[in-house]
Each structure stands twice: as structure tokens, then as C-alpha cells.
Structure 1
């Protein structure tokens, strides 16, 4: 357990730095790493993917809250729009843990692997904003927010890779899209984590120091260093060729996805 904690300290530093540098969520990195690490503490194969995703989701709570606070100070969050989609975000995220529990760990890993590859392609070839398109009706936004939060919760991510391209497609200014995504990411992480905690209460053979499907030593290690490393990544972003690095990272994610598919 202590070895996993120490490795997660290093993992958190990498995740935090890359999040600041490339503006990506950590779940796409954390989940594959935990799929490799958690068997060391006795997590059984039928629960492995669920615990990796739940722990990743919980690790996003503090980082997304910090990001949302920073965006709020810069007036980047359109709160009326946030209030419109908030019910759908909470509903979709709460459902994620219970729906994931009905899917086998191997199948869930395959779905995550395909999702990683698709998100890597989106990162390398982002959707262009559509000027003047305008946001859809409240009912459509509610439905879209449920789907995004459900997918994000089932994949262990904050949802920014889904929310930002969607809002940009509908013509929302990028700074507002990113700001709103940080606020919804906090809701997804908090509500989704609660869902995985409750869904995991009756799960058997979980390792010690688990809270539902969340493995607390790994969570603690990731959170401690990711919060410290994120500002360093932000500073590096102004000096390093981030568009090139983002494409290289997308290639790495594709390779990770392929590896996870073959491992399944």
C-alpha cells in the first residue's frame, strides 16, 4: 500500500503538470496508471476498472474546484447557463457509478480504451467553433448535460474534453466554455464520486482503506502533488510549444488505448 501511495505521489505530479501545461483533465492518465497499480494492493480483476475510474473521479474534486474558483474570479463562468445545465449534470454523474457497476470490469476497460482513442483524436484535431450558431433550448441542454456527465462519470474524467468542444461548437466564447467546464467538472467529480461510494458499499473483497469503489491511499497521493504541480505546468505553457506537445500527447493516448484494448 505504501509503495502505491508513493507512486501515486509521482503520478499526481505528472498529472498536475500536464493539466497545467496542456489544459487536459487527469483522468485519461490516472485511470490507465491505476489499472496497473491497484492489483498490487489486492484489487481483484472484476472490480479493477471500477476502482480505477472511481478513484480518478474523486481526485478531480479539489483540482476542478480550484480551477472553477480561478475562472470565477476572472468572470469566465456564465452562471445562468450553469444553472440551466446543473440538474442534468448532477443526475448524469450520480447515475454513472450505478450503471458502471452493471458492466463487467473487462468490458468497462474496453469502453474506456475506445474513449481514450476518440478523445486523443479530438485533442489532435479539435472541433472548430461555429460563430453565430447559438445555444440550443433548455430541454436539449438538459439532455446533453445528462449524457456528458454520465459518460464522464463512467470514464473517471471531469468532462472537459466533452463539454468544451460542445460549447465551442454552439458558439460560446472559449474562455467561457473552459470556465463553465471547470464548474461542471467539479459537479461531475463530486456527484460521480458519491455515486461510486454508494454503489460500492455492498461490494465484496475490496482492499483495506477503500471508501466504496474509491481507494483512499492512491487518491491521497494523487491529490497532494497534482495541486502543487499544476501551477508549474501553467508557467511552462507560456514557454513550451504546447500545440506540438498536445499532438504528441494525443499519439501517446492512442497507444495507451490500443494497449488497453489488447490487454482486455
Structure 2
């Protein structure tokens, strides 16, 4: 049964995820994956052997809507470097599909541990205010393809839109903060589409998935979360273009650390 408590909680998290997606150029998966796991637990299927896979696949499906809303809002503000998006997208799509295929053979515990470690690492990187060399620029096309493939695979394993990787990378290559965030939102949408296709296809032949699941995508959660993320992503974009980027990065890093700590606590207990 889907109680109003669960629905309202999903709407609240979806609103926060959409706002953060627009604010930082990410997909919002760092919030969506834990809340989908929580919803599965309340439905009595949190112990399903593919619970983490369902959470990640669902996160990607929600991000299809979230990242499009964010990308469109950033495009209207002329904050996306479309040349970089076109050059990195093929590698990212390849990485996402490879990651989705390999994730099927990874145990749930391994994915959870990887996700927690990933969040903590990115949080610490975000909180550091290291300055790249002024001469640092984007690598050539082959290098961008390789980086995109790596980012896509990592995104596929943890169910995020790749912004947690692409924003720090673009900043490292001396992109202005708002340009990096805007471009990241353009990269997140194809990742979300590829991830959704990959997790849908790889879960089709799995027996005894929960009712309402299409492959590794839990449709009831997608429907509820997407409504909220679509509405709040443009608000996040608007806010990002008004506030100092450094303060936003600090808040984002702290949030990632809190999520990683909470998931680690739940895993241990």
C-alpha cells in the first residue's frame, strides 16, 4: 500500500532533488537512490536481492525528466557549452551502457559500499578549494571521450547524472563555475536516458521483481518523484545564477557527506 506519508515524503525529496539538480548541474540521484530504497523497505521489499539495482534504475528514470527540465532552464540562460556536450556525450553513453551491463553481476552490498565511498570522495573533493593552473584546458577529443566513458560508467553504478564528476572536472579545466554547472546539466540528460535504457533492459529477464517494476525501474516511484523534480529544477537553476558558487559548493559537499554517513550507518545496522 502506498500511504500518504510515503507519497508526501517522495514529493518532498523529489522537490529537493529537483532543486539541487538545477542548482549544481547534477541529476539528483544522490537523494533519489536512498529514498527509493527507503520506499522499497516500507513496501516490505527492501531485502530484495536486486533492491539497489531497482533504486539506481529508478533514479535514472526520474533523472530523464529532472535533467531535461534543468538543461532547458540553463539553455535559456545561455550557460551551456554545447561543443563540450557534443564531444563528451558519446563516451558517456558508452560508459553508462557498459556500467549498466556490469552492474547486473555485482552484488547489492558491493554497489552500496561503492556508492557510499563514492559520495564521501566527491564530498571531500567538493569542499577543497584548490585552484587549477591557469593554463589548464579541456583535453583533445580522444581524451574527452575517455573521460566521458569513465564518468558514464561511474554514473551507471551509483545511479547519478554525472554532475558530481563533470562539474569538478570542468572546474579543473578552468570553466567558470556557472558555465561548468550549466554544461554539466547538458551532459546529465543523455546519461539519464542511457542509464534508464540499460537498467530497463538488464532487468527484463529477472524473475520475481516487485509489482510495478519494469526491468530495474520501479514505476510508482518514478511517477511521484518526477512530478516534483520537473517543477523544482528550474527554481534551482534560477537560484544558482544569483548565489556565489563557492558557498553552494560547500553546502553541496556537506550534504553529500551527511548522505554518505547516513547510508553507512544504515548498512552497518
Q: 1:144 to 1:237 in 2, by over 3 A?
A: closer
Aligned counterpart, 1:95: 98
Mapped contact 1:129–1:171 kept (Cα < 8 A): yes
Unaligned runs of 5+ in 2: none
Report deviation, 1:139: 1.4
Aligned counterpart, 1:8: 10
Q: What TM-score do you get using the length of structure 1 for normalisation?
A: 0.88
Q: 1:12 to 1:128 in 2, by over 3 A?
A: same
Aligned residues: 264
SS at match of 1:208: coil
Alignment equivalent of 2:41, drawn from 39, 56, 64:
39
Q: What TM-score do you get using the length of structure 2 for normalisation?
A: 0.86
Alignment equivalent of 1:29, drawn from 28, 31, 55:
31
Aligned counterpart, 1:143: 146
Report deviation, 1:248: 4.9
Alignment equivalent of 1:71, drawn from 66, 70, 74:
74
Mapped contact 1:51–1:215 kept (Cα < 8 A): yes
Aligned counterpart, 1:197: 200
Mapped contact 1:55–1:215 kept (Cα < 8 A): yes
Alignment equivalent of 2:256, drawn from 226, 250, 253:
253
Mapped contact 1:130–1:168 kept (Cα < 8 A): no
Q: 1:182 to 1:20 in 2, by over 3 A?
A: closer
Q: 1:77 to 1:18 in 2, by over 3 A?
A: closer
Report deviation, 1:177: 2.4
Aligned counterpart, 1:17: 19
Aligned counterpart, 2:163: 160
Q: 1:165 to 1:21 in 2, by over 3 A?
A: closer
Q: 1:232 to 1:80 in 2, by over 3 A?
A: closer
Q: Map 1:110-121 onto structure 2 (within 5 A).
A: 110-121=113-124
Alpha-carbon distance between aligned partners in 2 of 1:239 and 1:78, rounded to the nearest angstrom: 20
Q: 1:56 to 1:225 in 2, by over 3 A?
A: same
